[in-house]
Amino acid sequence: MSDISPILEFLPCPTPETWIDEARKPENLAVILVDHANNELKAAQSAMAIMSRYRTGKFGRGNGQCDEQKDGPQLRIEDQLSLLNKMSRLAREELRHYEQVLAIMARRDIPYVHLGAGRYAGQLTAAIRRFEPFRLVDTLVMGAFIEARSCERFAALSPWLDDELHKFYLSLLKSESRHFRDYLALAETINGASIADRVAVFGEIEQDAIESSDPVFRFHSGAPDFPSDHS
Amino acid sequence: MSDISPILEFLPCPTPETWIDEARKPENLAVILVDHANNELKAAQSAMAIMSRYRTGKFGRGNGQCDEQKDGPQLRIEDQLSLLNKMSRLAREELRHYEQVLAIMARRDIPYVHLGAGRYAGQLTAAIRRFEPFRLVDTLVMGAFIEARSCERFAALSPWLDDELHKFYLSLLKSESRHFRDYLALAETINGASIADRVAVFGEIEQDAIESSDPVFRFHSGAPDFPSDHS
Segment B79-134, tens digit of pLDDT? 999 999 999 999 999 999 999 999 999 999 999 999 999 999 999 999 999 999 99
Q: Is residue A229 part of a domain?
A: no
Largest CA distance in chain B: 59
CB contact under 8 A, B88 and A98: yes
Q: Look at residue A2 in the predicted model and tell me its pLDDT.
A: 67
Residue A3 lies in a domain: no
CATH number where A178 lies: 1.20.1260.10
Classify burial at A5, counting beta carbons within 10 Å of its beta carbon; exposed 0-12, middle 13-18, buried 19 or more: exposed
- Percent of chain B scoring above 90 in pLDDT: 87
Structural domain contains residue B10: no
Q: Is B228 among the domain residues?
A: no
* B126-173 pLDDT tens trace: 999 999 999 999 999 999 999 999 999 999 999 999 999 999 999 999
Query: Tens digit of pLDDT for each residue in A85-126?
Result: 999 999 999 999 999 999 999 999 999 999 999 999 999 999
**Residue B123: left (phi > 0), alpha (psi -120 to 50), or beta?**
alpha
**Among B39, B104, B114, the residue to mutate for chain A (most A Cβ within 10 A):** B114
Domain presence at residue A5 = no
DSSP letters, B126-172, are: TTS-SSTTHHHHHHHHHHHHHHHHHHHHHHHHGGGS-HHHHHHHHHH
Asked whether residue A11 is domain-assigned, the answer is: no
When scoring A92, A93, A115, A216 by the number of chain B Cβ atoms within 10 A, the one with the most, hence best to mutate, is: A92
Chain A interface disruption, residue of B31, B38, B48, most A CBs within 10 A: B48
Higher pLDDT, A66 or B180: B180
For position B113, what pLDDT does the model report?
93
A interface with B, Cβ–Cβ below 8 Å:
37-38, 41, 44-45, 48, 51-52, 55-58, 64-65, 67, 69, 77, 80-81, 84-85, 88-89, 91-92, 95-96, 98-99, 102, 106, 111-114, 116
Domain that holds residue A166: 17-216
Q: Per residue in B104-139, is it b (16+ CB within 10 Å) or e — as a string?
A: bbbeeebebebbeebbbbebbeeebeeebbbbbbbb
What confidence tier does A174 reach under pLDDT thresholds 50, 70, 90?
confident
Interface of chain B toward chain A, CB-CB under 8 angstroms: 37-38, 41, 44-45, 48, 51-52, 55-58, 64-65, 67, 69, 77, 80-81, 84-85, 88-89, 91-92, 95-96, 98-99, 102, 106, 111-114, 116
Number of domains in chain B: 1
The verdict on a CB contact (< 8 Å) between B65 and A96 is: no
CB contact under 8 A, A102 and B112: no
Global pTM value: 0.93
State whether A45 and B52 contact (CB < 8 Å).
yes
Amino acid present at A14 = P
When pLDDT is cut at 50, 70 and 90, the band that residue B174 belongs to is: confident
Q: Which residues contact A148 (CB under 8 A, 6 or more apart)?
A: A7, A10, A11, A176, A177, A180
Task: Pick the closest to residue A206 from A156, A150, A154 (CA basis).
Answer: A150
Cβ <8 Å between B56 and A114: yes
Residues of A whose CB is below 8 A from B122? none
Q: What is the CA radius of gyration of chain B?
A: 18
Report if residue A2 sits inside a domain: no
Closest CA–CA distance from residue B48 to any residue of chain A (Å)? 7
* Domain assignment present for B134: yes
Under a CB-based contact definition with an 8 Å cutoff, are residues A206 and A153 in contact? no
